[in-house]
Structure 1
Amino acid sequence: MKNQEEIVSDLKGLINILNDGKVGYKEAVENVESPNLKSIFLEFSNQRYAYAEELKQHILQHGGESENDEGGVLGALHRAWLDIKDAFTSKNDSAILEAITTGEKAALDKYDEVLKNYENHADHRALLTKQREGIANALAKIESLKVQYQS
Protein backbone atom coordinates (compact mmCIF):
# COMPACT_ATOMS: atom_id res chain seq x y z
CA MET A 1 0.00 0.00 0.00
CA LYS A 2 1.33 3.42 -0.96
CA ASN A 3 2.22 5.92 1.74
CA GLN A 4 1.15 9.56 1.67
CA GLU A 5 4.43 10.85 0.20
CA GLU A 6 4.33 8.32 -2.66
CA ILE A 7 0.70 9.18 -3.42
CA VAL A 8 1.43 12.91 -3.58
CA SER A 9 4.44 12.21 -5.82
CA ASP A 10 2.32 10.11 -8.19
CA LEU A 11 -0.38 12.78 -8.35
CA LYS A 12 2.19 15.51 -9.01
CA GLY A 13 3.57 13.40 -11.85
CA LEU A 14 0.11 13.29 -13.38
CA ILE A 15 -0.22 17.06 -12.94
CA ASN A 16 3.01 17.48 -14.91
CA ILE A 17 1.61 15.35 -17.73
CA LEU A 18 -1.68 17.25 -17.69
CA ASN A 19 0.14 20.59 -17.81
CA ASP A 20 2.21 19.38 -20.75
CA GLY A 21 -0.99 18.30 -22.49
CA LYS A 22 -2.59 21.67 -21.82
CA VAL A 23 0.39 23.48 -23.34
CA GLY A 24 0.62 21.02 -26.23
CA TYR A 25 -3.01 21.53 -27.16
CA LYS A 26 -2.57 25.31 -26.98
CA GLU A 27 0.40 25.06 -29.34
CA ALA A 28 -1.64 22.84 -31.64
CA VAL A 29 -4.42 25.48 -31.71
CA GLU A 30 -1.84 27.98 -32.97
CA ASN A 31 -0.61 25.66 -35.70
CA VAL A 32 -3.63 23.99 -37.28
CA GLU A 33 -5.54 25.46 -40.18
CA SER A 34 -8.96 23.99 -39.45
CA PRO A 35 -11.31 26.07 -37.26
CA ASN A 36 -12.93 22.79 -36.20
CA LEU A 37 -9.59 21.42 -34.94
CA LYS A 38 -8.81 24.72 -33.20
CA SER A 39 -12.09 24.44 -31.29
CA ILE A 40 -11.54 20.80 -30.34
CA PHE A 41 -7.94 21.40 -29.23
CA LEU A 42 -8.97 24.38 -27.12
CA GLU A 43 -11.62 22.21 -25.46
CA PHE A 44 -9.04 19.52 -24.66
CA SER A 45 -6.54 22.11 -23.40
CA ASN A 46 -9.20 23.42 -21.02
CA GLN A 47 -10.00 19.86 -19.97
CA ARG A 48 -6.35 19.23 -19.07
CA TYR A 49 -6.28 22.46 -17.07
CA ALA A 50 -9.41 21.39 -15.16
CA TYR A 51 -7.97 17.92 -14.49
CA ALA A 52 -4.73 19.43 -13.15
CA GLU A 53 -6.73 21.73 -10.86
CA GLU A 54 -8.75 18.75 -9.58
CA LEU A 55 -5.57 16.88 -8.76
CA LYS A 56 -4.08 19.92 -7.01
CA GLN A 57 -7.17 20.18 -4.82
CA HIS A 58 -7.04 16.45 -4.17
CA ILE A 59 -3.41 16.74 -3.06
CA LEU A 60 -4.27 19.62 -0.71
CA GLN A 61 -7.16 17.63 0.78
CA HIS A 62 -4.72 14.84 1.56
CA GLY A 63 -2.12 17.04 3.24
CA GLY A 64 0.23 17.62 0.34
CA GLU A 65 1.33 20.75 -1.46
CA SER A 66 1.04 21.35 -5.18
CA GLU A 67 1.91 24.62 -6.80
CA ASN A 68 3.11 23.30 -10.15
CA ASP A 69 1.58 24.99 -13.20
CA GLU A 70 4.27 23.84 -15.58
CA GLY A 71 5.21 20.50 -17.06
CA GLY A 72 8.08 18.58 -15.65
CA VAL A 73 10.42 15.64 -15.88
CA LEU A 74 7.60 13.10 -15.72
CA GLY A 75 5.66 15.26 -18.11
CA ALA A 76 8.41 14.60 -20.63
CA LEU A 77 6.42 11.49 -21.48
CA HIS A 78 3.61 13.66 -22.70
CA ARG A 79 6.00 16.06 -24.39
CA ALA A 80 6.46 13.41 -27.05
CA TRP A 81 4.02 15.36 -29.14
CA LEU A 82 5.58 18.71 -28.37
CA ASP A 83 8.93 17.55 -29.68
CA ILE A 84 7.81 17.02 -33.21
CA LYS A 85 8.38 20.56 -34.34
CA ASP A 86 8.05 19.47 -37.95
CA ALA A 87 4.35 18.80 -37.41
CA PHE A 88 3.81 22.23 -35.90
CA THR A 89 6.05 24.19 -38.25
CA SER A 90 4.55 22.55 -41.31
CA LYS A 91 1.06 23.42 -40.07
CA ASN A 92 0.02 20.02 -41.37
CA ASP A 93 -3.22 19.11 -39.57
CA SER A 94 -2.70 15.39 -40.15
CA ALA A 95 0.83 15.43 -38.70
CA ILE A 96 -0.35 17.42 -35.68
CA LEU A 97 -3.15 14.92 -35.05
CA GLU A 98 -0.59 12.11 -35.21
CA ALA A 99 1.63 13.92 -32.72
CA ILE A 100 -1.29 14.44 -30.34
CA THR A 101 -2.15 10.74 -30.57
CA THR A 102 1.34 9.89 -29.34
CA GLY A 103 1.02 12.28 -26.41
CA GLU A 104 -2.40 11.03 -25.39
CA LYS A 105 -1.25 7.41 -25.49
CA ALA A 106 1.69 8.33 -23.23
CA ALA A 107 -0.70 10.05 -20.81
CA LEU A 108 -2.98 7.01 -20.72
CA ASP A 109 0.00 4.74 -20.05
CA LYS A 110 0.98 6.89 -17.06
CA TYR A 111 -2.58 6.89 -15.71
CA ASP A 112 -2.71 3.10 -16.09
CA GLU A 113 0.60 2.76 -14.26
CA VAL A 114 -0.63 4.89 -11.36
CA LEU A 115 -4.10 3.30 -11.22
CA LYS A 116 -2.77 -0.24 -10.88
CA ASN A 117 -1.20 0.82 -7.56
CA TYR A 118 -4.36 2.39 -6.14
CA GLU A 119 -6.70 -0.56 -5.68
CA ASN A 120 -7.02 0.19 -1.95
CA HIS A 121 -7.53 3.94 -2.36
CA ALA A 122 -11.12 4.42 -3.52
CA ASP A 123 -11.10 8.23 -3.38
CA HIS A 124 -7.94 8.54 -5.49
CA ARG A 125 -9.02 5.75 -7.81
CA ALA A 126 -12.42 7.33 -8.57
CA LEU A 127 -10.89 10.67 -9.56
CA LEU A 128 -8.09 9.11 -11.60
CA THR A 129 -10.46 6.73 -13.37
CA LYS A 130 -12.75 9.62 -14.33
CA GLN A 131 -9.84 11.61 -15.70
CA ARG A 132 -8.41 8.61 -17.54
CA GLU A 133 -11.78 8.07 -19.22
CA GLY A 134 -11.80 11.70 -20.34
CA ILE A 135 -8.35 11.34 -21.88
CA ALA A 136 -9.36 8.05 -23.53
CA ASN A 137 -12.41 9.78 -25.01
CA ALA A 138 -10.20 12.61 -26.28
CA LEU A 139 -7.88 10.04 -27.87
CA ALA A 140 -10.84 8.33 -29.55
CA LYS A 141 -11.95 11.70 -30.94
CA ILE A 142 -8.43 12.44 -32.20
CA GLU A 143 -8.23 8.98 -33.81
CA SER A 144 -11.50 9.62 -35.66
CA LEU A 145 -10.27 13.04 -36.77
CA LYS A 146 -7.07 11.49 -38.14
CA VAL A 147 -9.15 9.60 -40.69
CA GLN A 148 -10.98 12.77 -41.66
CA TYR A 149 -7.80 14.86 -42.01
CA GLN A 150 -5.48 12.35 -43.68
CA SER A 151 -3.14 14.03 -46.14
Structure 2
Amino acid sequence: MNSDIKTIENKIKQIIEKNEDAVKGFQKAAENVKREGVISYFQNRAKQRELFVKTLHNATPVLETGDAEISGSTKGTMHRTWMDIKTFFTSNDDEAMLKEAVRGDESAISEYNEILTETMLPHRMKEIIREQRNEIQNDLETSGILERLV
Protein backbone atom coordinates (compact mmCIF):
# COMPACT_ATOMS: atom_id res chain seq x y z
CA MET A 1 0.00 0.00 0.00
CA ASN A 2 1.23 3.46 -0.87
CA SER A 3 2.74 5.25 2.15
CA ASP A 4 0.79 8.45 1.33
CA ILE A 5 -2.49 6.54 1.46
CA LYS A 6 -1.47 4.86 4.72
CA THR A 7 -0.66 8.28 6.21
CA ILE A 8 -4.09 9.58 5.20
CA GLU A 9 -5.78 6.48 6.64
CA ASN A 10 -3.97 6.99 9.94
CA LYS A 11 -4.97 10.66 10.08
CA ILE A 12 -8.61 9.79 9.38
CA LYS A 13 -8.49 7.17 12.11
CA GLN A 14 -7.06 9.79 14.48
CA ILE A 15 -9.90 12.18 13.65
CA ILE A 16 -12.45 9.42 14.25
CA GLU A 17 -10.81 8.63 17.60
CA LYS A 18 -10.70 12.35 18.50
CA ASN A 19 -14.43 12.59 17.81
CA GLU A 20 -15.10 9.46 19.87
CA ASP A 21 -13.22 11.13 22.73
CA ALA A 22 -15.26 14.30 22.20
CA VAL A 23 -18.55 12.35 22.42
CA LYS A 24 -17.55 10.88 25.76
CA GLY A 25 -16.05 14.16 26.95
CA PHE A 26 -19.18 16.16 26.17
CA GLN A 27 -21.31 13.51 27.87
CA LYS A 28 -19.06 13.73 30.93
CA ALA A 29 -19.21 17.53 30.88
CA ALA A 30 -23.03 17.41 30.76
CA GLU A 31 -22.93 15.28 33.92
CA ASN A 32 -20.64 17.76 35.70
CA VAL A 33 -22.37 21.07 34.98
CA LYS A 34 -25.38 22.54 36.75
CA ARG A 35 -27.06 25.04 34.42
CA GLU A 36 -29.73 23.60 32.16
CA GLY A 37 -28.58 25.60 29.12
CA VAL A 38 -25.01 24.39 29.52
CA ILE A 39 -26.18 20.79 30.03
CA SER A 40 -28.18 21.03 26.81
CA TYR A 41 -25.22 22.57 25.00
CA PHE A 42 -22.95 19.65 25.94
CA GLN A 43 -25.60 17.03 25.14
CA ASN A 44 -26.10 18.56 21.70
CA ARG A 45 -22.35 18.62 21.11
CA ALA A 46 -22.12 14.91 22.02
CA LYS A 47 -24.85 14.09 19.49
CA GLN A 48 -23.12 16.20 16.84
CA ARG A 49 -19.82 14.36 17.35
CA GLU A 50 -21.61 10.98 17.22
CA LEU A 51 -22.90 12.04 13.81
CA PHE A 52 -19.35 13.07 12.80
CA VAL A 53 -18.07 9.58 13.73
CA LYS A 54 -20.85 7.85 11.77
CA THR A 55 -20.27 10.09 8.75
CA LEU A 56 -16.54 9.40 8.76
CA HIS A 57 -17.11 5.64 9.16
CA ASN A 58 -19.61 5.66 6.27
CA ALA A 59 -17.26 7.68 4.04
CA THR A 60 -14.34 5.32 4.66
CA PRO A 61 -15.75 1.80 4.37
CA VAL A 62 -12.47 0.43 3.02
CA LEU A 63 -10.55 1.59 6.08
CA GLU A 64 -10.20 -0.62 9.06
CA THR A 65 -11.42 2.13 11.40
CA GLY A 66 -12.89 -0.27 13.91
CA ASP A 67 -16.53 -0.87 14.68
CA ALA A 68 -19.20 1.79 14.93
CA GLU A 69 -19.18 1.68 18.74
CA ILE A 70 -17.92 4.89 20.33
CA SER A 71 -14.89 3.79 22.32
CA GLY A 72 -12.41 6.65 22.36
CA SER A 73 -8.77 6.49 23.33
CA THR A 74 -6.80 5.94 26.50
CA LYS A 75 -5.69 9.58 26.34
CA GLY A 76 -9.35 10.62 26.14
CA THR A 77 -10.21 8.47 29.16
CA MET A 78 -7.45 10.17 31.12
CA HIS A 79 -8.76 13.59 30.06
CA ARG A 80 -12.29 12.73 31.25
CA THR A 81 -10.87 11.64 34.60
CA TRP A 82 -9.07 14.99 34.76
CA MET A 83 -12.41 16.71 34.08
CA ASP A 84 -13.92 14.91 37.08
CA ILE A 85 -11.03 15.91 39.33
CA LYS A 86 -11.13 19.50 38.10
CA THR A 87 -14.88 19.66 38.73
CA PHE A 88 -14.38 18.41 42.27
CA PHE A 89 -11.90 21.18 43.08
CA THR A 90 -13.37 24.03 41.01
CA SER A 91 -16.04 26.36 42.37
CA ASN A 92 -17.52 27.20 38.95
CA ASP A 93 -18.01 23.81 37.29
CA ASP A 94 -19.84 25.17 34.24
CA GLU A 95 -17.07 27.60 33.36
CA ALA A 96 -14.35 24.98 33.93
CA MET A 97 -16.13 22.47 31.67
CA LEU A 98 -16.64 25.08 28.94
CA LYS A 99 -12.93 25.94 29.05
CA GLU A 100 -12.05 22.26 28.69
CA ALA A 101 -14.41 22.02 25.71
CA VAL A 102 -12.73 25.01 24.07
CA ARG A 103 -9.30 23.46 24.60
CA GLY A 104 -10.43 20.18 23.03
CA ASP A 105 -12.09 21.90 20.09
CA GLU A 106 -9.01 23.98 19.35
CA SER A 107 -6.96 20.79 19.27
CA ALA A 108 -9.52 19.11 16.98
CA ILE A 109 -9.43 22.04 14.55
CA SER A 110 -5.63 21.70 14.33
CA GLU A 111 -5.95 18.01 13.47
CA TYR A 112 -8.65 18.72 10.89
CA ASN A 113 -6.49 21.45 9.32
CA GLU A 114 -3.53 19.08 9.18
CA ILE A 115 -5.38 16.41 7.22
CA LEU A 116 -6.85 19.03 4.88
CA THR A 117 -3.29 19.74 3.67
CA GLU A 118 -3.00 16.19 2.30
CA THR A 119 -2.99 16.35 -1.49
CA MET A 120 -3.97 12.68 -1.85
CA LEU A 121 -7.11 13.07 0.26
CA PRO A 122 -10.15 12.16 -1.87
CA HIS A 123 -12.34 15.15 -2.75
CA ARG A 124 -15.49 13.88 -0.96
CA MET A 125 -13.51 13.13 2.21
CA LYS A 126 -11.98 16.61 2.06
CA GLU A 127 -15.49 18.11 1.85
CA ILE A 128 -16.67 16.10 4.88
CA ILE A 129 -13.63 17.03 6.94
CA ARG A 130 -13.91 20.70 5.97
CA GLU A 131 -17.62 20.76 6.90
CA GLN A 132 -16.94 19.12 10.27
CA ARG A 133 -14.05 21.49 10.98
CA ASN A 134 -16.28 24.48 10.18
CA GLU A 135 -18.98 23.19 12.54
CA ILE A 136 -16.43 22.83 15.33
CA GLN A 137 -15.19 26.36 14.62
CA ASN A 138 -18.76 27.68 14.85
CA ASP A 139 -19.26 25.79 18.11
CA LEU A 140 -16.12 27.43 19.49
CA GLU A 141 -17.71 30.81 18.94
CA THR A 142 -20.89 29.63 20.71
CA SER A 143 -18.93 28.25 23.67
CA GLY A 144 -17.17 31.61 23.97
CA ILE A 145 -20.54 33.30 24.30
CA LEU A 146 -21.65 30.73 26.88
CA GLU A 147 -18.41 31.23 28.86
CA ARG A 148 -19.19 34.92 29.21
CA LEU A 149 -22.68 34.11 30.49
CA VAL A 150 -21.64 31.68 33.26
TM-score (norm 1): 0.84
- Report the Cα offset of residue 36 of structure 1: 0.6
Query: 1:8 maps to what in 2?
Result: 9
Residues 118 and 124 in structure 1, CA contact (< 8 A), matched pair in contact too: no
The answer on 1:88 being equivalent to 2:79 is: no
AA paired with 2:5?
A: Q
AA paired with 1:144?
A: I
Equivalent residue runs for 1:13-92 within 5 Å: 13-60=14-61, 63-68=62-67, 69-72=70-73, 76=75, 82=80, 83-89=82-88, 90=90, 92=93
The separation in 1 between residues aligned to 2:123 and 2:112, in whole angstroms, is 15
- Report the Cα offset of residue 121 of structure 1: 3.0
Q: Which runs of 5+ in 2 are unaligned?
A: none
Q: Which runs of 5+ in 1 are unaligned?
A: none
The separation in 1 between residues aligned to 2:79 and 2:108, in whole angstroms, is 11
AA paired with 2:87?
A: F
Residues 2 and 117 in structure 1, CA contact (< 8 A), matched pair in contact too: no
- Report the Cα offset of residue 146 of structure 1: 0.7
Per the alignment, in what secondary structure is the counterpart of residue 100 of structure 1? helix
Q: How many residues align?
A: 144
Per the alignment, in what secondary structure is the counterpart of residue 104 of structure 1? helix
The separation in 1 between residues aligned to 2:59 and 2:118, in whole angstroms, is 17
- Report the Cα offset of residue 119 of structure 1: 6.8
The separation in 2 between residues aligned to 1:112 and 1:80, in whole angstroms, is 25
Change (3 A) 1:106 1:80: farther
TM-score (norm 2): 0.85
Q: CA RMSD in A?
A: 2.2
Per the alignment, in what secondary structure is the counterpart of residue 60 of structure 2? helix
- Report the Cα offset of residue 118 of structure 1: 4.0
Identity across matched positions, percent: 21
- Report the Cα offset of residue 70 of structure 1: 1.6
Residues 28 and 88 in structure 1, CA contact (< 8 A), matched pair in contact too: no
